[in-house]
Amino acid sequence: MKTRREVLQGLIVSIGGASMLAACGNAARVAVSESQSLRFFSDQELALVSRISDLLLPRTDTPGALDVNVPRFIDGLMAEWANAASKESQHRQLMDLGQMLGDDFPTLAHADAENALRELDRAAFSGNSGYGGYRALKGLITQSYFATEDGALLEQHWVAVPGRWDPCVDI
Amino acid sequence: MADFDAIVVGSGMSGGWSAKELCERGLKVLVLERGNEIVPERDYVDQMPPWEQSNLDRISEDEIARHYYKQFPGVSYAVKESNKHFWVKDDEHPYETSPGTEYDWLRGYHTAGRSIMWSRQTYRLGPQDFEANKIEGIAVDWPVRNEDIAPWYDHVEKFAGIAGNRDGLPQLPDGQFQPGFELTCAEKEFKSRVEAAFPGRNVIQARVAHITAVTEEQRALGRSNCQSRNRCHFGCTFKAYFSSLNATLPAAERTGNYTIVHNAIVQSLQYDGESNRVVGVRVIDAETMETRSYSCRVLFLNASAMASAMILLQSKSTEYPNGLANSSDQVGRNLMDHVSGAGASGLISGFENKTVFGRRPGGIYIPRYANITEHDKPYIRGFGFQGNATPLGNAGGQIAGIGRAFKESHGAAGPWRVSISAFGEQLPNPNNTVTLHPSKRDKWGNPLAVFNVGYGENERIMQAEAGKDAVAMLEAAGCTEISSRPVNLTKPGNRIHEMGSARMGRDAATSVLNGWCQAHDVPNLFITDGAFMTSSACQNPSLSYMAFSARAAHYAVDLLAQGAI
């Protein structure tokens, strides 16, 4: 029996996706322009969210969160989806998060920023309260990443038309 | 000469069946649909990939507050930005509730009604369900028994396409099934452990209205096998799941006897006291506000249990001053839904190196065992559990870690989670009502609905016990990290299984319809949506609406042929 990855790769190639696989790690594939002005985040907030996004979901053999413009996607989502209360709450949570990580977090050397975020993440997932804002942002970054074409196809192995149900597949 | 032999009010789950069967028996049929036309090629959005959805397919919070303040909280799992056109805007279709009560009236006004948006779990009622009222002295006796309706379940199952396994359980009769969706490896283990620990309980495949071995009849309607995409709430280009739009309405249309008019909101049924017959329908056009009438020889109400009762209550005459066919005063009473709230989830180990391929439409079902195989309960009737055991997944980002390890963990091996939720029977209670608001009207001049619905002690005790049972079964299955939610009962109406508002019975003094869904008072009036249900059982009811609609349609045609109506 084929593994899920083998099945997926076969499917991608069969639907003309060879070039898609070859394109991994190249340009982002979302319709958000870098030059577009911000609609929700301040410059400082964008820098914070961008740094966190990059550290959470870096470029590996597949594109990272920055490659697919996750921070700009969230900027648009917050502008269009959120109501006034949610917007205010998001700004407040980012302010708190910025204080927890320190003002210089966006410009820290990579290893230092990684250590700071790892420490925060560990605390947030150790049953401590007070990290709701971080966990919510982590969720939003992750969901947004997987909702992009690269995130869905290359990382989530999303298949538009599975065509069958296999209830038990070896990984 | 009437405009049409038959008029069917409503094109949804039951109206589609009424139309199909009446057309196929040669009647000229008019279907009146209050909503707009849905054209699959234009309006289904099932082919949209995640990256083409706006804002993670979330409806904006301001828009929810403005238009979907009942629909979205009621069914947030199904109401999305891309398919919001399948759900009514609450501000355009308001309703009221009596002080101290709540009601979720969750609707879609368009071709095929809620048969487009349903969750497709499909079960027969069992012999016990038709007998319980009589045995327990609750409400009134069903004028129908299992053997009366079983052939009609066969009839509709063959046409609709039901995927399921033949489990041989007397309380949940098998039907004309196409191959079911096999249980996951964790579900098989869960089944084995639960059935060993509780010999009277069974864990079976959910039975769902999905084609898995397409028949020639289904293929001729443009239908094909389920592709395991789990995009059903967005329509189905493959027409693999049953809906009126995918199946019964096209079947009616190909007879050449079918006409459908959209945007036709029924104001009242026209009644002739001399002949004691419904003679037509008065409608208002939802867009132009013009009123007009259509005449007919026989009328089928399939507007939904709530709307059908309201139409009767709006149709007053000298003979029926409290609403047409309402000499029993039972129209708009005995509202039922199913009650949920109890459930549990937990992790099941041993499958960390396995996953699934495809996205099937159902999971597991634990048929009712309370007061069937176990008789030690502090309540009557019972409940079924719906659920699944699938890889936990972590796309929500709610796991620890950052960087490459975090990113790659999303495609890696992981734990599996079992989750089950109870669907319980709600007993009929004449004080659970829908009535017409005395003064408030919608923009078409029809009175607003006022709901006064609450649960009784039996439902409350049953759900509390179901919650304990859920935990006990997960424990017996060796689950860890079991979380049992507090048993907060779902709001009445939330399960969208509207039933009982014009119940069947043997006595015209205490029921609205006879065993053929024919009004006791007015012989050419039939109601075959959920209104006829004398009790709710605990099974998802759509299949019963289908079977009773088909049976009533054939009976009506026979009566017409005999000149009896």
Question: What does the pLDDT average to over A86-115?
Answer: 96
CA distance, residue B36 to nearest chain A CA (Å): 27
Phi, psi at residue A142, to the nearest 5°? Answer: -65, -45
Q: Which of B205, B271, B234, B320 is nearest to B48 (CA)?
A: B234
Q: Are B121 and B366 in contact (CB under 8 A)?
A: no
Q: Cα(B426)–Cα(B103) distance, rounded to whole angstroms?
A: 14
Query: Got the DSSP string for B22-40?
Result: HHHTT--EEEE-SSBPP-H
pLDDT, tens digit, 9 for 90 and up, residues B147-191: 999 999 999 999 999 999 999 999 999 999 999 999 999 999 999
**Least CB-CB distance to B404: which of A7, A60, A160?**
A60
**Interface contact A92, partner B, CB < 8 A:** no
Distance CA B205, CA A42 (A): 51
Q: Is B176 exposed, middle or buried (0-12, 13-18, 19+ CB in 10 A)?
A: middle
Interatomic CA distance for residues B410 and B346, integer angstroms: 20
| CA distance to B170, B191, B203, B477, per residue, from B196 (Å) | 19, 8, 11, 9
What is the Cα–Cα distance from A170 to B355, expressed in whole angstroms?
6
Q: Helix crossing, A43-56 with A84-101: angle to 10°?
A: 70
Q: Hey, what are B43's tokens?
A: 């309006």
B chain contacts of residue A51, beta-carbon cutoff 8 Å: none
Sign of the torsion angle spanned by Cα atoms B33, B39, B42, B45:
positive
Cα atoms in the Cβ-side hemisphere of radius 13 Å centred on A120: 26
B88: Cα within 13 Å, side-chain hemisphere = 20
Lowest-pLDDT range, A18-22, A166-170, B498-502?
Answer: A18-22
pLDDT category at A36 given cuts 50, 70, 90 is confident
Asked if residue A2 has pLDDT above 70, the reply is no
* B357 vs A55, A124, A166: nearest CB: A166
The confidence score (pLDDT) of residue A127 equals: 84
SS3 annotation, B290-353: CEEEEEEEEEEECCCHHHHHHHHHHCCCCCCCCCCCCCCCCCCCCCECCECCCEEEEEECCCCC
CA nearest neighbour of B112 among B220, B214, B239 = B239
Q: Which residues, 6 or more positions from B362, have their beta carbon under 8 angstroms from its beta carbon?
A: B120, B121, B163, B181, B205, B206, B207, B208, B210, B386
Q: Which residues have CB under 8 Å from B459's CB, separation 6+?
A: B339, B424, B425, B426, B427, B489
**Closest chain A residue to the Cα of B397, Cα to Cα:** A139
Nearest residue in chain A measured CA to CA from B402: A56
Confirm or reject contact between B413 and chain A (CB < 8 A). Answer: yes
The pLDDT of residue A129:
87
Interchain contact A169–B (C-beta under 8 A): yes
CA-nearest residue to A77 within chain B is: B55
Which residue in B has a C-alpha nearest to residue A63's C-alpha?
B407
Q: What pLDDT, in 10s, does the model give residues B376-417?
A: 999 999 999 999 999 987 768 888 999 999 998 887 778 899
**Residues of B numbered 185-204 whose beta carbons fall under 8 angstroms of chain A's beta carbons: which are they?**
185, 187
Average pLDDT over every residue of A79-97: 98
- In chain A, which residues have their Cβ closer than 8 Å to the Cβ of B72? none
Least-confidence region, from B70-74, B390-394, B539-543: B390-394
Phi, psi for residue B447 in degrees, rounded to 5: -60, 145
Extract long-range pairs of B126-129: CB within 8 Å, 24+ residues apart.
Answer: B126/B170, B126/B171, B126/B172, B126/B173, B126/B537, B126/B539, B127/B170, B127/B171, B127/B173, B128/B171, B128/B372, B129/B535, B129/B537, B129/B539
Q: What are phi and psi of B497, to 5 degrees?
A: -115, 75
Whether the pLDDT of residue B212 is over 90: the answer is yes
Query: In B, which residues are within 8 Å of A152 by CB distance?
Result: 49-51
- High-pLDDT (> 90) share of chain B, %: 96
Give residue B395's pLDDT. 66
Average pLDDT of every residue of chain B = 97
Residue in the block written with tokens 């959910």? B206
- Contact by Cβ (8 Å): B525, B519: yes
Determine the 3-state secondary structure of A28 from DSSP.
coil
In this prediction, residues B318-340 reach a mean pLDDT of: 98
Chain B segment 67-106 residues within 8 A of A by beta carbon are none
- For residue B441, what are the β-bridge partners? B447
Confidence of residue B486 (pLDDT cuts 50, 70, 90): confident
pTM, entire model? 0.94
Q: Which residue of A has its CA nearest to B354?
A: A170
Whether A138 contacts chain B with CB within 8 A:
yes
Tokens in use for A64? 């990272």
Instruction: Give the residue on B whose Cα is nearest the Cα of A138.
Output: B397
The nearest CA of chain A is from the CA of B167 a distance in Å of 19
Whether the CB of B396 is below 8 Å from some CB of chain A: the reply is: yes
pLDDT over 60 at A20, yes or no: no
At residue B531, what are phi and psi to the nearest 5 degrees? -60, -30
Say if residue B312's pLDDT is above 70: yes
pLDDT of residue A24 exceeding 50, the answer is no
- Does B356 contact A at CB distance below 8 Å? yes
Interface contact B354-A56, CB threshold 8 A:
no
- Where residue B540 falls among pLDDT bands split at 50, 70, 90? very high
- The mean per-residue pLDDT over the stretch B262-272 comes to 98
Query: Chain A window 12-51: which residues touch B at a Cβ cutoff of 8 Å?
Result: 29-30
3-state secondary structure of B281: strand
Interface membership of A61 toward B (CB under 8 Å): no
Confidence of residue A34 (pLDDT cuts 50, 70, 90): low
The Cα–Cα gap between B443 and B447 comes to 9
Mutating which of A24, A70, A81, A83 best tests the B interface, going by the most B Cβ atoms within 10 A?
A81
Does the beta-carbon distance from A165 to B360 stay under 8 Å? yes
Q: Report residue B477 as tokens.
A: 């299955």
Banded model confidence at residue A12, pLDDT cuts 50, 70, 90: very low
Q: Which residues of A touch B412 (CB under 8 A)?
A: 171
What band does B256 get if pLDDT is binned at 50, 70 and 90? very high
pLDDT beyond 70 at A27: no
Residue A14: pLDDT over 60:
no
